[in-house]
Amino acid sequence: MRCISKMKKCIILALVCVLLTGCGNVSYTFAYDPDCSVSSFRIVNSQSHDTSEPFASDLCVIQSDILNDEIDMTDISSAALFDVNNSKVLYAKNVYEKLYPASLTKVMTALVALKNGKMEDTLTASQNVVINEPGATLCGVKPGDTMTLSQALHALLIYSGNDVAVMIAEHIGGSVEGFTDMMNKEAKALGATNSNFVNPHGLSDDNHYVTAYDMYLIFNEAIKYDMFTEIIHMASYDTTYYDSSGNPKELSIGTSNRYLNGNCPMPENVTVIGGKTGTTNAARSCLILLAKDTFGNSYISIIMRAETRDILYEGMSDLLGLIY
């Protein structure tokens, strides 16, 4: 009875909002709007004080830029720092700008795979793992090769193998197209309504884009999986998979994340757990990270379209420096 009563209140409240015309003709939008900067909503009835909780009540919400004069983001298109534990935004620049994500795409690929696959699943490479785009990162998988989903996810997130991304997509979704449909459905379910995926790896396509805020939503969901967090924390990985004849093939890979491979010092009082890098000519240099402060509180930081990799890490260290 309590649930039915509450539902009636919500319906009546919605009808009142639609029918009332004496409050300055204010209009209210409740459904997802792909061009809306805030995906969640909150309605308060001034008389009864009934509240409809937003679907993202435990998430950070941004209405405008939150900048800091001490940080120079001139050559960076979009950046943000989120305090996960307290649902606070510590920095935000152009977080709703639609940009090419490059291999940040693989965070969504991993999330969909983790939600719909089993780590012991065996993946078989099709002819589609042959990718000839210049500069594409490849693990060297050949048609007929097999590996487990666990191995594929390690290769996807640590080394950013585009060929392995195709293996995962075809195994989970039946085809690349079927998998990208799953990616887009997952994005909308998370409130990431300003994004669109057309492939599982992030090689550039005019119709393949995300926003920094949407990447935060996707990454925040992915880190709920222990396997994801464990993998992004690894600096290297060695494994054995098999060719079409059952012969073993060795794979030894390392991360391009400079904080994990020792090529960039972590800011004071901050521990970088891991994340995902992304680089293409169209996307420039991108990075999303999970970090913790000395008290164990979690933070998500993201930079998209930094003009160079050096600028990317300088900017990221400045962002992380805002953590006290």
% of the chain at pLDDT higher than 90: 81
Which residues constitute the domain of residue 139?
76-320
Domain match, 18 and 139 both: no
d(CA 130, CA 99): 26
Q: In this structure, what CATH number is given to the domain that contains residue 146? A: 3.40.710.10
Question: Dihedrals φ, ψ of 303, to 5°?
Answer: -130, 135
Q: Which has more confidence, 22 or 143? A: 143
d(CA 31, CA 45): 19
Q: Which H or E element spans position 119?
A: none
Q: Is residue 60 part of a domain?
A: no
**What pLDDT score was predicted for residue 35?**
46
Other beta carbons less than 10 A from residue 90's beta carbon: 18
Domain match, 14 and 99 both: no
pLDDT digits (tens, 9 = 90+) for 74-131: 999 999 999 999 999 999 999 999 999 999 999 999 999 999 999 999 999 999 999 9
Phi-psi group of 242: left, alpha or beta (phi > 0 → left; psi -120 to 50 → alpha; rest → beta): beta
Q: Is residue 292 part of a domain?
A: yes
Domain match, 93 and 48 both: no
Domain match, 176 and 105 both: yes
Q: Which has more confidence, 202 or 38? A: 202
Mean pLDDT (whole number) for 178-189: 98
Mean pLDDT (whole number) for 245-259: 98
Has residue 55 got a pLDDT over 80?
no
**What pLDDT score was predicted for residue 216?**
98
Domain match, 20 and 83 both: no
Has residue 27 got a pLDDT over 80?
no
Q: Is residue 208 part of a domain?
A: yes
The two three-digit tokens of residue 140, written as one number: 């060297």
| Average pLDDT of every residue of the chain | 87
Domain match, 44 and 135 both: no
Mean pLDDT (whole number) for 291-318: 98
pLDDT digits (tens, 9 = 90+) for 225-248: 999 999 999 999 999 999 999 999
d(CA 314, CA 293): 19
| Domain total in the chain | 2
Q: Is residue 61 part of a domain?
A: no
Domain match, 244 and 113 both: yes
Has residue 188 got a pLDDT over 50?
yes
- Which single residue is written with the structure tokens 């940080």? 71
Sheet of strand 146-148, all strands in order from the earlier edge strand to the far edge = 122-124, 146-148, 236-242, 248-254
Q: Look up the pTM and report it.
A: 0.84
107 to 60, 294, 303: CA distances (angstroms):
19, 26, 15
- Which single residue is written with the structure tokens 């402060």? 293
Q: Is residue 65 part of a domain?
A: no
Q: Which has more confidence, 146 or 37? A: 146
Domain match, 28 and 160 both: no
**What pLDDT score was predicted for residue 324?**
84
Domain match, 28 and 84 both: no
**What pLDDT score was predicted for residue 18?**
40
Domain match, 145 and 87 both: yes
Domain match, 233 and 125 both: yes
Catalytic site residues?
103, 106, 160
Domain match, 187 and 267 both: yes
Q: Is residue 66 part of a domain?
A: no
167 to 115, 156, 233: CA distances (angstroms):
16, 10, 23
Angle between helices 105-116 and 212-222 (to 10 degrees): 30
Has residue 187 got a pLDDT over 60?
yes
Q: Is residue 68 part of a domain?
A: no
Alpha carbon 87 to its chain centroid, in Å, reads 17
pLDDT digits (tens, 9 = 90+) for 275-299: 999 999 999 999 999 999 999 999 9
> Worst-scoring range by mean pLDDT, 23-27, 62-66, 205-209, 267-271?
23-27
